[in-house]
Structures are given as structure tokens and as C-alpha cells.
Amino acid sequence: MKLEEMTFPTIAETDYKFPYQTHVYHGKVRDVYTIGQQLVVIATDRISAFDHILPKPVPHKGAVLNQLAAYFLTATKDIVPNWLLAVPHPNVSIGIKCEPVRIEMVIRGYLAGHAAREYKAGKRLLCGVTLPGGLKENDQLPSPIITPSTKAVDGHDEDITRVELLKRKIVTEDVYLQMEKYTYAVFERGQKMANERGLILADTKYEFGIHEGKVMLIDEIHTPDSSRYFYLDGYDEQQKKNEPQKQLSKEFVREWLMKNGFQGKAGQQMPVMPDDFVQTISARYIELYELLTGINFKDDTSPGLKENIYTSVLKHLGK
């Protein structure tokens, strides 16, 4: 039986009551449970675009995100300390509770996605960074640029300049400079790892937190939700022909939504994704995981998926 013909359990939402749990936060994709000084982060199968959660969960998506993030957090911990302590289940990560810095450190090596749309609209200044003229979509930039955005608790994130975020005192200059240094270093490592697997890491974002006065990398890194990948083979030829690059990222979901009249703007109605498109998304996420890691993807596909998550967390915490 083909993958697209099979039915797998999905996690659209969670509502656990763990022992000693003091708080729960339901994000667009992750549900975060606070237990003492640790966070239990459950990657659901929800998918979001344009700051809206789409109606249908995507099979395996949460497990792909969780395991891929853990893979890269482990591979970069020599560069920057991070929050991760354990991965007791394919959909679960447990880590250190940090005070989050409300900034997304977006770093771009190529003119793609949001930056390309802004550029096409005539903008040459993005988050205080001047872009050179004569670029076309998906061209490599002369050097990677950081275009930060505010991390909204509710609503839309906003592009912001380094000067403005310091003026608003969202973060101290010392902390921002450390985040900037880590961002360039982790992006360079991510690009190198992607190239070794025949891919190009075009852009991504990182989030940071403070723990005991130290800046730490938190959340996920280098996943298809937070990053954009192109295939290395054929990239130059497609650029010369002005052909679109095949992307292993969530951008193709945004493109589908735009074609169906939705960009998250007021008055627009969210289209319902057909089942075959949902399966295409699932297959692309799994493909990216296996391409990047060289590891066969494994997931918990049992009917007792939610119970298994609960048990694995209790076992790890020794409750």
C-alpha cells in the first residue's frame, strides 16, 4: 500500500494534565507544558501559514519537526548552548525553561519568500539592510543578512530594524550582539550540513532565550517550518533559465494558499486543503528529514499515540 493511501493518527491538539504542571501554552504548532524549571514541548501535526492555523493536520509533520530540530540542536551545541535535554518520544522534546527574547533572528542567504516579494514590490531596504539592485528571485545574496522581526504573542510578527528594536528596549545591545554572532555561526554550520546532503539552506530563523544570565538557542532550528531549502543540483541552471527552484520548505503551502486567494488578510477565507495535497505536504516533510539526516524516518503510528506521549513524558520525568 502506498503512503498516500494509508491512514495515520494525527495530533491536532493536546490537553494533558501532567503531575506538577503549572502552565500550558498552545502555540500555532507546538503545545508547551511547564513542569518546574523544564518545558515539555509537544510538536503537533498542525500547520500554519500567514500566522493562521490551517484546518487539517498533516500526518507525521510534528514528528519530523521535532526530530529534525533535535538533530540540528545536537549538531550545533558546540557553537551555541541550547535548551534541549531529551527527546523521549518522536513528537516530544524536554528542555530548560528560558526567558524568551521576543525577537526572531531571520537570516537570509538568498532572495526568496517574503524578501523576494518585498523586493519585487520595489523595496530595497529590508529591516535596515540595503539590498543590491539587479537581483531576481532566489538569487544568492552577496553575503547573508539578518532581518529581525518581533515575536508576537498574538497576531502578526513585524519586521524591525536593529536600531528600532534597541530603541524600544526589546533587548539589550549586549544580548542582541550575542544573538547576532550565534545566528551567523549556526547559519554557516547549517548551510555546510545542507550542502553535504545536496541541498541549499536559503534562509531560516532562530529564537533565543535567557537562562541564568546566559543566551541560549531555543525552539526549533533548520526545520521546513522555519527554513527554506533548495536542491543544490540544478540550482544554477534553473536560475539562468528564470525557472522556479523546487523547494523543500513550507513555502509551497503558502504558494498554494495564495493561488486560492488567501494571504491571511482581513476578509479572506481560508481554503480547505484537499486530502491529496495534505499527503503531498506530509511526503515532502519526510523527504526533507531523510535527505538532511541520511536517517530513515520513524514515527509512532499506533492508535495509542496520545497515550504513548503521556507515558513517555512521565517516564522521563520519573513521575
Q: What is the CATH number of the domain that holds 193?
A: 3.30.470.20
- Cα–Cα distance measured from residue 134 to residue 155, given in angstroms and rounded to the nearest whole number: 34
What is the reported pLDDT for 155? 54
The SS3 call for residue 289 is helix
What is the reported pLDDT for 103? 95
What is the reported pLDDT for 5? 44
Per the DSSP assignment, residues forming a β-bridge with 216 are 209
What is the reported pLDDT for 251? 82
What is the reported pLDDT for 154? 56
- Cα–Cα distance measured from residue 136 to residue 208, given in angstroms and rounded to the nearest whole number: 31
Looking from the CA of 243 toward its CB, the CA atoms found within 13 Å total 10
Q: Digits of tens for pLDDT over the chain (319 positions)?
A: 344 445 678 999 999 999 999 999 999 999 999 999 999 999 999 999 998 999 999 999 999 999 999 999 999 999 999 999 999 999 999 999 999 999 999 999 999 989 999 999 999 999 999 999 999 999 999 999 999 999 765 555 789 999 999 999 999 999 999 999 999 999 999 999 999 999 999 999 999 999 999 999 999 999 989 999 999 999 999 999 999 998 788 888 999 999 999 999 999 999 999 999 999 999 999 999 999 999 999 999 999 999 999 999 999 988 5
Q: Show the cell assigned to 293.
A: 539526516
Neighbours of 53 (CB within 10 A): 17
What is the reported pLDDT for 84? 98
Q: Report which DSSP code applies to 220.
A: -
* pTM exceeds cut of 0.85: yes
Number of domains the chain is built from: 1
What is the reported pLDDT for 307? 96
Range of the domain at 124: 3-317
Burial class (CB in 10 A: 0-12, 13-18, 19+), 253: buried
- Cα–Cα distance measured from residue 14 to residue 313, given in angstroms and rounded to the nearest whole number: 13
What is the reported pLDDT for 156? 59
What is the reported pLDDT for 8? 78
